Amino acid sequence: MTVGQLWRLTRPHTLSAAVVPVLVGTAAGALSGRVNVLLALDMLVISLLLQIATNMANEYFDFRRGVDHTGLTGIAGVIVQGETSPRAVLTAAIATFALAFVLGCLLALARGPLLVLLGLLSILVAVLYSAGPRPIAATPYGELTVFLLMGVLETLVSEVAAVGHLSTAAVAASVSVGFLVAAILTANNLRDRESDQERGRRTLAILLGQERGLSFLRAEALAAVVWPAIAAIGLLPWPAVLTVLLLPSALRVGRMGSLRRLLPEVSRLHLLNGLLLSLALGAFAALR
């Protein structure tokens, strides 16, 4: 496998989804404790590795199940196009998962064995997302899965990694992260709705249809940018209200006329919301 093929398998445009929860969780932790920078960086690398390994596993299992073929390729498409073998992609996925687990064990030495169990749970869900007779990606439960795993859980674990404990602020902030990472999946599934239906999938986008699916997507985006302002009444510090600056962007989601523009549009909103929320929490912690 060449470096270029490996880079495509990482699906670089998806990696912000792994960075945001770590930033938000670390910033929330700074409100109530001293951040251990090395452990926070370890968590960031773990999060990136888990995202990359999940992308690789998705490429492999979609090919094996016939979801990807010469007429319809996945994001990377290195297997279908004959650039590398399925075995090489599977090996890369396993190696990446293993590296994430090793780094997670190092983190657990400092923060407790529970993190090992949570890491194993994350790996199991990541594999089941694409593998098995009924992968999560083919069901209406994809949004809920990524909301809980890549939104809430990853944000909370990031706070534990950074400061060694959980706080109400991190729980509240994780909800905003979860809404938008779920919105990324909704945008992806709306774009692929017709082809997914042909392949026998039953995603939420298929069940809702295009118009109701777009309404659901806008609701996710609006909830993500409005929730921190609501949570600023007792759960988050007042600078969290700054996420409402993204309200015009949230209101424009899905109104550009092309479903193919949905994914980059929502991914950008996810990143901006995460950065703004992290800066608001981190600045408040630094200036107290």
Domain ranges of the chain: 22-287
Q: Is the pLDDT of residue 223 over 60?
A: yes
Residue 231's contacts (CB-CB under 8 Å, 6 or more residues apart) are 172, 173, 175, 176, 240
Residue 124: which residues within 8 A CB-CB, separation 6 or more?
none
Instruction: Give pLDDT, residue 68.
Output: 56
pTM, 2 dp: 0.90
Select, from the ranges 14-18, 40-44, 68-72, 116-120, the one with the highest average predicted confidence (pLDDT).
40-44
Summary mean pLDDT of the chain = 89
pLDDT of residue 22: 97
Mean pLDDT for the stretch of residues 235-253: 93
What sign does the dihedral 49-116-64-91 (CA atoms) show?
A: positive
Say which CATH topology domain 22-287 has.
Answer: Farnesyl Diphosphate Synthase (1.10.600)
Q: Does residue 168 or residue 85 have the better pLDDT?
A: 168
Better pLDDT: 71 or 93: 93
Per-residue pLDDT, 73? 45
pLDDT at 172 over 90: yes
* Distance separating alpha carbons of residues 132 and 189, to the nearest angstrom: 19
Q: How confident is the model at residue 82 (pLDDT cuts 50, 70, 90)?
A: low
34 Cβ contact list (under 8 Å, min separation 6)? 163
Tell me the C-alpha distance between 267 and 220, whole Å. Answer: 13
d(C-alpha 243, C-alpha 273), whole Å: 6
Cβ-based neighbour number of residue 57 at 10 Å: 24
